[in-house]
Chain A
């Protein structure tokens, strides 16, 4: 299995809702990532989990809460979002640091989030 699977593919939520984005990989990768991508812009790094521990938080507002239950799963919990949080949310995975050369990240196809 060489894929990163993200669910759901599309999500519409109100500003008072609580929802979660899910990401799964079975490549034995030990690093997982959340990126946010606005239209016609590059992906922006949000969070990095390395060996199931949060290693990078790019000053993301607390209404976004990441969780890594195990080495294969990554969640992003959403609460009280704003319309400007509407974007494509990409999950990625890679070998952990110290595991040899960096062969790049494998990305999922993303969740298109719309906040109304």
Chain B
């Protein structure tokens, strides 16, 4: 069982928007602004999409956005494209003892 809880799968049609939730606790997501999101194609290197809850690294499309409310973080992908079909993982700093925890991953299907 992963430390952070994500839906196993989400789906959407091209052009639509989807949101992936990431439920944590007051010891991780709720305690720090260090939430990040990753896109992962099987057999490839994961890619950083969002860090510090809502910051996008250079080169990441503004179709990807992040937010947080209390103990739950969210990733929103707008203007869905077929190329967005991948696994998405949330990650949070969880203090000096545990350090980092990931969510179980969400498989995005573009219909």
- Asked if A and B are interacting partners, one says no
Name B residues whose Cβ lies closer than 8 Å to a Cβ of A.
none
